[in-house]
Amino acid sequence: MSYLLGVVLFALAILISVSLHEAGHLLTAKMFGMKVTKYFVGFGPTVWSFQRGETEYGLKGIPLGGFCKIVGMTPQDDDVEPGDESRVMWRYPVWKRTIVMAAGSITHFALALITIWILAVSAGLPNPDFPTTDAQARKEPAVIQLSPCVVPENTLRECTPADAASPAAQAQLRDGDRITSINGTPIGNYGDLLTTLRSLKPGDTTRIEYVRDGQAGSASTVLAQTQRPPLDDPKGAAAPVAALGVGLVPSTPTRVTYGPVGAFGATADFTGQLAVGTAQALQRIPQKVPALWTALTGGERDVDTPISVVGASRLGGEAVQNNAWLVFFMLFVSLNFFIGVFNLLPLLPVDGGHIAIAWFERARSWVYARIGRADPGRVDYLKLMPFTYAVILIGGAFTLLTIAADVVNPITLFSR
């Protein structure tokens, strides 16, 4: 039940953010005096609507987005009534048209920033000092977290009777113990622990010195066997190695909370990281298409593959089911930021395509004026329709592929 509630809540959050996107277009267009005839949430048949002034507001039957109708977005539009010629969008200065078209993405960014700030002062943001790479983790003190069993590398699942029991648990070590030596070899950090264990063999009886609550202790255990790649080549071929059945407890917290003022700086820093991550994700999309197809045809789903609104909603459901509300809101932040950036790409039919054409027209007019030639006028959108249809076709196919993969082989964040 909580899973279904999470799915519904996340889908509703997406619908609200998209509706606010269109409201951004609506409000800025009206502010500049452009004529807006329709603002609807959803698509398809009209469920309910009302007229206020020259604009019809309402709700459509398919809650998968929304739209805002601004008269005369291009010179080729035929929706201009007599007397409205001066209020068509394409006649307005380029800076006003840019604000109107960018207002949707700005709304998404505003939603993301506000949510990040609220999280910064409440639940906390990811700690920038938290070790996120193998190199950083190996510099941490060797404070351990016990695993119930020894599971082969890159396998995320619950223990089975076939898995070797954790040698550390059999030695009655506890979470939070700091390993100080293995068979007399000093252990200064987690990297030393890994290196020393790799020098031993499965089945070796090993003496472990540790510190627990400030008190020194020792224990003996027999090392288990598992499969691991070389320490200096994480992508190399796995080979049998000795295992203690422990993980690392980092010395720094995973999250940091801030005061109302300090949260602004933390929000800015986190947003910068999010921008870099979003740009990198966009660049990786073409190379992830084969991985999506593999997932759809029965292969393992790469957690780094793109997800659709369906997949995001499912992850939102998992987050609520596991009481992981921070994950829920971080998904909301990431999705809004991604949509905001995507809509600014200089491609028709998204908003960034209209902005790019507006500035191209302005730059071309400036150049022609400097060389003494007549202004060539506006771009003919009809000539761009084949390119626009190609973008729609590719985007639609990619969307269907991600939706299908999210239904057939979804990404999961929590083990079951």
What is the tens place of the pLDDT at every residue in 247-260?
888 777 888 899 99
Least confident piece of the model among 32-46, 99-113, 209-223, 300-314: 300-314
Domain 134-248 class, CATH top level: mainly beta
Rounded distance between C-alpha atoms, residue 416 and residue 406, angstroms? 17
Pairing between β-strand 205-212 and β-strand 185-186 as defined by DSSP bridges? unpaired
Work out the mean pLDDT of the chain and round it to a whole number: 89
Residues with Cβ within 8 Å of residue 117, at least 6 apart in sequence: 263, 264, 267
pLDDT at 9 over 80: yes
Rounded distance between C-alpha atoms, residue 391 and residue 347, angstroms? 8
Higher pLDDT pick, 276 / 151: 276
Helix, coil or strand: residue 84: coil
Q: Give the HSE-up count for residue 179: Cα atoms under 13 Å, Cβ half-sphere.
A: 35
Q: For 166-304, where are the alpha helices, taking DSSP H only?
A: 167-170, 190-198, 262-296
pLDDT at 138 over 70: yes
Rounded distance between C-alpha atoms, residue 60 and residue 47, angstroms? 5
Helix, coil or strand: residue 310: helix
Structure confidence at residue 416 as a pLDDT band (50, 70, 90): very low
pLDDT at 39 over 90: yes
Nearest to 351 by CA among 76, 103, 109: 103
pLDDT at 156 over 60: no
85 catalytic per annotation:
no
Q: What is the pLDDT of residue 394?
A: 92
Least confident piece of the model among 100-104, 164-168, 386-390: 164-168
Structure confidence at residue 196 as a pLDDT band (50, 70, 90): very high
Q: Where are the domains of the chain?
A: 1-14+95-128+257-416, 134-248
Task: State mean pLDDT over 127-142.
Answer: 79
Residues with Cβ within 8 Å of residue 69, at least 6 apart in sequence: 36, 37, 38, 39, 79
Largest CA distance in the chain: 92
pLDDT at 20 over 70: yes
Task: State mean pLDDT over 179-191.
Answer: 92
Please, is 151 exposed, middle or buried when counting C-beta atoms within 10 Å of its C-beta (0-12, 13-18, 19+)?
buried
The answer to whether 206 and 183 are in contact (CB under 8 A) is yes
Strand order in the sheet with 205-212: 185-186, 178-182, 205-212, 215-222
Rounded distance between C-alpha atoms, residue 291 and residue 313, angstroms? 21
Higher pLDDT pick, 228 / 360: 360
Least confident piece of the model among 34-48, 97-111, 213-227, 286-300: 286-300
Token pair for 119: 């999280």
What is the tens place of the pLDDT at every residue in 221-250?
999 888 888 888 877 788 888 889 888 887
One of 22, 140, 209, 361 is an active-site residue; which one? 22
Place of tokens 């604009």: 55
The pTM of the full predicted model, rounded to 2 decimals, is 0.80
